Structures are given as C-alpha cells and as structure tokens.
Structure 1
Amino acid sequence: MGKERFTINPFPALALSDAEKKQLLELGRTIIEANFERDDPFFKGGRKVDPRRWKLSKEREHMKVYTERPEYVGADAMTNPNSTSKLPAILSVGRVEGKLDDMMYGVVNPTLEEMRIKASYVHDFDGAAVLSTIVRPTEEEPFNSVVVKWMEMDIPLRRTGMVQNRDYVYLECTGFARTSDGGRAGYHFLHSIDFPQIPKLSDRVRGDLSICGFFRQVAPNVIDVCKTGLMDPAGDMIRMLAVPVMTEAFLSPLRYVHCGQMRKLTWKMEKSHAEARLHGAPNPGTTCVTCSKPSTGWTLGKSASTCKCCFRVLCSGCKIKKKISIVTADLALSEKKITFCSACLADASTSSAADIAATQIVENTRKNGVVRSVASHSSSSSDLMVSR
C-alpha cells in the first residue's frame, strides 16, 4: 500500500448541514434496525443456511462465505435481478475466538489514522479517506461512530490497463444493538451514498455497496458472526474478477479480534514509553524476566533483548515478536516486529478494550484540544433498541 494512497484525499472537504447529518443518521438507524430484525431469527434458528438459496464460495477456519444462487427467486432474495452486473448477494457466517469488545475495537476506525492501522491488520481495502465525521466515539460509548468515507479496492489485472480499480463513497456506522433480552450485538454497517461534491474519478469506476455485519458473544471466548450484503463494482466485464475479491472481504471478521488485540498492545507499549520518557526506564535486570535464566549463561556474542513494554531483559528462547503498526510523525505507516515478554502480552490481552478505547479518547481530546461535538440528534444512533 503506497503511503500517498492514504495521505492524499482526492476530494475537497465535505461540509454537511445539520439536516443532512440528521438524514444520514436516520438512514443508518433504519437500515441497521431492519437488518437486525432479519438477523435475529436467523441467529436464534442456529444459522442454518438454505442450500437452495446459498452456494458455498469460500471457507477459512470457522467462517464460511456463500453467494446467492442466481436462479433463486424467493421473496427474501437479496440479489437484484435487474442489475447489469448480476453480481450475487454474499453471506458469511461462523464463529471467531475472542471477546466482543476486542472485536469492536478492531472494527471501529473513525479517523484516517485508525483506518490505516486497521487496514494493515485486516487488509480490507487499499486506499481510503475520511470525508465527514457525523458521530465520534465518546468516553461513554467508545465503539460508536458514524462517518462518511471513501475507499478504493484493487482489482486483479488492473496493471494491464484492461480494468480499473473500483471505489466507493459510503456511510459507515459502528456500535451496539440492544436485544429484547438485554443482550448486545456489535454491528458494522456500510452503505453507498452520493454527494454532488464527491464526483466520480476519471481513473476509477464508482461502485455501490450495502453491507451489514452483526457480532454476538455466545460463549466466554466465542463470537458469533453474520455478515450480509451486496458489493456491485459497476460493470459486467469484471464479474469473474470481482466475486473473489468481494468474498475475501467478507472473511475480514476473522482478523478483527487480532486487530483489536494489537491496538491494545500498542497502547500499552506507548504508555510505557511515555512514562519512561518522563521518569526514565526501569532497570532491565540481569536475568530473563520470563524464565529467570541469568544473562551470563546466554550465547556469547548475542545481545540481550528487552520487552518493549516492561523494558526487562529477555533470553532468545523467551522473547516473542509481534508485528505492530504505527503511523509515524511524517504520516508513514510503520510495520515492525517488536519484542515482548509473555507477561506483558497476557496483560494486554486480558485488558479491557472498552477501557483502553475510552482512555485514548480522553487523552486525544486533551492533547489535541478537540471539543467533542456530536449533533444533538445523534443519540438515536448510539444504541439501537430492538423490541421483539
């Protein structure tokens, strides 16, 4: 991913009136609620996929991706028979290991920096820009956001000049839906919208999408996932090229928890470094922090490693490397393998994603002097109260 594909916005600033923001909030609320009312009985019914309607397209770990059969003509068909592209609707269902809050921390990405970091872990798009922020995450609701975005997806054979990349302008909403029994379901919603201020680009083809995913904690370390939608890349010629790209995108929930975990680890590391800059780093010690092996017994010529969270010494057998993504001061995305000890990794893993996200919001607000401004009508977009 070239740096300029994320740092250069191809469009002018998008200024939305209060009326337009209210309209977009209502659009998101209405469609998310409709999708949730359709998803709830599917979840309670055990996620039984009708083979007459859905054809298995891809499978990985505990996730399956289906495409709607073109001959299916049921009243609940999602594919538009009048579409010129005739691309099928897509359904992904399965289970993912982890905590729901960790997953939502990996999903929410209201700023360009967070979009870039998420993309480095999830690989769900290839270029992006934030066009307008309607609802920002708050300390009380750190996973709630409503943002207008632009993204680009690379299409195979684009370098031949025979096809052009597809781009999308869309409304993205993240947050929680409330069930009638008081439970939570995380949601991630993307829906194409048009603005005269955001014209089509000459070297890309503007597509349409409407995708809604729901995530529920069904066991202490198990998350149920269901994601449905349509991604129309606008053009019949690339149909065979587009479907594999689209189905791969529907496997992205497999990487959301990892993204959330790495964001927590990054925050822990940055917090430790900030404290070290103020008060100095602690004594690294002379024995491995994990196995207590003395440094005198280590292989001659090999320098000692230190955990980048606690700064304690690690032997070669105990050090654990994790690839961490950070946006540097010059706006470059840095992806480096960094050494940690098992104790710091466990501490980050079990830390509350909601607490860390809330703390980050408070710190960023204080550091940047940003006044949290959310339209007075935005409260209706926070928790969707679904009565059944």
Structure 2
Amino acid sequence: MAPVDLHHVALPAFTLSPERQRTLLAERDALIETTLELRSAFAAGGHQLDTSAWKLVKTVDDVRAYRSRRALHGAPDQTLDDTCDMDSSSSRSSSPSSSVDRNQLPSLGSSSSSGCGGSGSGSGRSSRPGRRPRRFCPSVKPAARPPAVVISGVIDGTAEDAVLGLIAHTDVQFKTRAAHLKTELDNARPLAELVLPTQEDPLVYAAVKWGLEPYGRFSQARDFVFLEAGGLTTDAEGHVVAYAIRQSVDLSDVIDLPRLPHTIRGYMSGCQTFGNMTPRGDTAHRTVEVFSRAFIEMDGSVPANMAAAAYAEKLMALALIIECAYTHKLAYLMRRSTTRSQCGAQWYRHSSNTCTNCTRAVCRVLFRPLQSGGSCRICQRTFCGKCSITRKMYVTLGNEVLQKEMLFCLECLLEAKSLDAHVVASDKINW
C-alpha cells in the first residue's frame, strides 16, 4: 500500500481555546517536572539501574538504552492505581480525560523507584495533587502497563545546542532534523502551534502534531496525536537543562481525525533532558548528560517488550541531535559569509594551489580517491585534505532537503562549535 501523506489529508477547521492551550502546556510542565525528579533520583543512585529490573537494549559510545523487564510490571508496587489508569486508558475512550490519566503515570512507572539504584519511592509522584489513592486491581494483567524505557549517557555539546537541533517549527527544519535522526514520525503534520520561537526567546517551541510511523511490511503502521515541545528549564540546583517532549494527547472533543486505512492509533509519552556537565566558560570540551524516560503503547499484535526495545533504539538517535545543531551553525556561518561577500566586505576569498595552513600542494582532480583538498565553504580559503574535513550537509531545494558533501577548514569548524546557540536560533527564525 502506498504511504499516506498526512499533509494531503483533508481536515475540518478547528481551534483550541485558550483554556485548552493552557491545559496542554500544563501537561508539558508536569512532565518536565516529573522527569527532572527522576533525573535527580537517578543521579543520587550513582547513575545506575538495577539489572534485575532493567534490561540493557543498546549501547552507542557513552549512551545506553534500557527497558524495564517483564517481571517488573507485575510487581505489587507497580500494579496499583497507575496500572489501573493505563488499563482504563487502553480502552481507547474518546474522553478528554484519557490523556490526563496517562499523564498521571509516574514517568518511569513506579519501577523507576526500584530501578534507580534502589532509591525507593523518592522519584515517584504520589504526592502530586489530584492523584487517586492507590488501590489493587486484581483483574488487571501484569503487562497492562507498557514497559518503560530509559536512556542515559554523556555526549559532546551543550544543553543550548541540543535545543537548537531539536526545535523544528517549519517543514524544512523538520526534514533537516529527520535527515539527521532518521527516526522521525513520517510526515508529521502540525495541528496547532502553542508556542513559537521569537527573537527574545528563540529556543522554545510547542505544538500539537499528527504523525504516522510505518513499521515495515509485516506490521501495521501507527499514527499518533501528540504534543511536541522543546526548550530550556532549570533543575532543583539551578542548572540549565534542555528538554524535548512527545506526549500523546486526546483532541477527540475538538477535532475528529480520520482513521487511516491499515493504521492503528498508538500512544506514547517521552521526555528527554540534556544537562550541561562542564562550566559555561570552559570551551575546550563541553559535554551534556542525557537522561530520557518514555513508554510507547502500540496495540495490535506487536509484543510490548519488542515495541519498547524498538522505541529505545529510536530514542538513541537523540545523541545525534548535537550534529543537527552543528549543521545549523555551519549553515549560519555560510549565510553570514555570503552576506559579507554581497556587501563587498573584505574576506578570504581567493584561489590557490597550496594549503593556507601548511603550504602543502593541493591536488584538484576529478577522482575522489585522489582528491586532497579544496576551498572551505565558509572562508573560501584553500586547504589540503589533512587540514580540512568533508562533512555531510543538508541543503534546501524548494521544500525538499538534499544531502551534499561540503569541505570546511578546522578553524571554521571550531568557530561553528563555539557559536552561541541563541544567536543561531534567532537567525534561524527567518530561514
């Protein structure tokens, strides 16, 4: 069956009331708060998970993905009110409260309490106002709640860089991000934009989207209606933390989305955080700590643990979000270089057969194996292969994003990495 382009699906006109928008943003804030509490509990437990409760799914460099084990879902302290909430929400009720019930789940389930280094219930949300008292539901199967997923590790970059790569409020920016991550929901379509980047606050975004995710020829596709949000916040210690959210929401009382053929409605809840680990003034080697909590409920015939493992691998791609930010920074420098040239400013533009850095002869031939350099796409100076790096960039052609290899000198690459993400994000608003 040919893939469905959600942008071509006819939808009725609808609007979200200010009260409904505030409710959605309150869900965002609650999810951020919960995840930051879990992040603190995880750090207090020595950044370790109990291997009897959590299974390692994948490791890439210093980033690890875990899913909760099947036995954990049947533990008494995890199958009380929260399991009942999930069981009731899995009935696919069109009531607006169904998404709220899912939101009231602890971010990792109560399983995170036993998993974060045996930290007890300190990371739970049992004291949150409005939660129902715990109760036992004997009719609920132990696997009624979807397995939880945790991502933890360290990557290069800053929290601000993470948000720069994550925010995509236009189709072109979304396609650029998708080209880097290669795990995006296929042709996600914005339904309502709640918060847009501004010149004063360029690193923030929130919107409700409708996305489609194909799962190969042997499984039906899933579509999701979700709140996507990204921005910066602070933790309990006042440190800057970047966040990225995808949280399923119920808008059935506002808009009647068509049911796509051979497609099942899925539900997900995920919050990724990126916290700076190096002092702000240290530009030599900046790193961020990644912590993510999530679950996905796909329904259909896909085993829950298999779905969670696949979801964990997709979340691992978030480690590449810094590379997406670097692409934006390099594009910013290229735009600035072009503007200077058009304004007649003195720049480095010249043609030479010797490397600007080491004076080695630069061989300009058509055969890739023998090519040993060229002109930097930013400063236009000539460099040999040892003093330059060829990097894959994504350029726009109309509404399409194409991949192209471009050569950059080391000096311009270092300048791009050290650029303030706020400056680039402010300029990116006009791209």
Match of 2:77 among 71, 75, 80: 75
Provide the secondary structure at the position in 2 that maps to 1:202.
coil
Q: Which moved more, 1:248-257 or 1:300-309?
A: 300-309
Who is 1:15 aligned against? 15
Q: Are 1:323 and 2:379 counterparts?
A: no
Does the aligned pair in 2 maintain the 1:85–1:236 contact within 8 Å? no
Extract unaligned runs of 5+ from structure 2. 91-142, 280-285
Who is 1:376 aligned against? none
Match of 1:117 among 173, 176, 193: 176
1:297-340 CA distance string (max 9 Å, x none)? x46788972111111223344342111112322x1111111111
Alignment of 1:82-231 (within 5 A): 82=87, 87-125=146-184, 126-156=186-216, 158=217, 162-196=218-252, 197=255, 198-220=257-279, 221-231=286-296
Q: Which moved more, 1:44-53 or 1:74-83?
A: 74-83
1:339-363 CA distance string (max 9 Å, x none)? 11111111111111122112333x4
CA distance in 1, matches of 2:273, 2:78: 19
1:75-130 CA distance string (max 9 Å, x none)? 35787784687641111111112222212211222322221111111122233222
The Cα shift of 1:25 comes to 1.2
Q: Which moved more, 1:222-231 or 1:237-246?
A: 237-246
Provide the secondary structure at the position in 2 that maps to 1:283.
coil
Equivalent residue letter for 1:356: V
CA distance in 1, matches of 2:312, 2:59: 10
Change (3 A) 1:61 1:5: farther
- What TM-score, normalized to structure 2? 0.74
Provide the secondary structure at the position in 2 that maps to 1:250.
helix
Does the aligned pair in 1 maintain the 2:328–2:424 contact within 8 Å? no
Provide the secondary structure at the position in 2 that maps to 1:46.
coil
The Cα shift of 1:226 comes to 1.0
The Cα shift of 1:5 comes to 4.8
1:178-231 CA distance string (max 9 Å, x none)? 223321111111110122323332242210000011211123522111111111
CA distance in 1, matches of 2:3, 2:197: 26
CA distance in 1, matches of 2:235, 2:305: 39
Change (3 A) 1:173 1:58: same
The Cα shift of 1:61 comes to 1.0
Change (3 A) 1:164 1:277: farther
Provide the secondary structure at the position in 2 that maps to 1:194.
coil
Match of 1:271 among 325, 333, 336: 336
Who is 1:377 aligned against? none
Equivalent residue letter for 2:428: Q
Change (3 A) 1:218 1:10: farther
CA distance in 2, matches of 1:184, 1:327: 32
Change (3 A) 1:34 1:56: same
The Cα shift of 1:33 comes to 1.7
Aligned residues: 355
CA distance in 1, matches of 2:144, 2:187: 23
Higher RCO, 1 vs 2 (CA within 8 Å, ≥6 residues apart): 1
Does the aligned pair in 1 maintain the 2:155–2:288 contact within 8 Å? yes
Change (3 A) 1:264 1:60: same
Does the aligned pair in 1 maintain the 2:163–2:232 contact within 8 Å? no
Who is 2:310 aligned against? 245
Q: Which moved more, 1:38-47 or 1:203-212?
A: 38-47
Who is 1:337 aligned against? 405
The Cα shift of 1:10 comes to 6.3
Who is 1:312 aligned against? 381
Who is 2:350 aligned against? 284
The Cα shift of 1:137 comes to 1.6
CA distance in 2, matches of 1:260, 1:189: 18
CA distance in 2, matches of 1:74, 1:250: 29
The Cα shift of 1:253 comes to 2.4
Does the aligned pair in 1 maintain the 2:377–2:407 contact within 8 Å? yes
Provide the secondary structure at the position in 1 that maps to 2:211.
strand
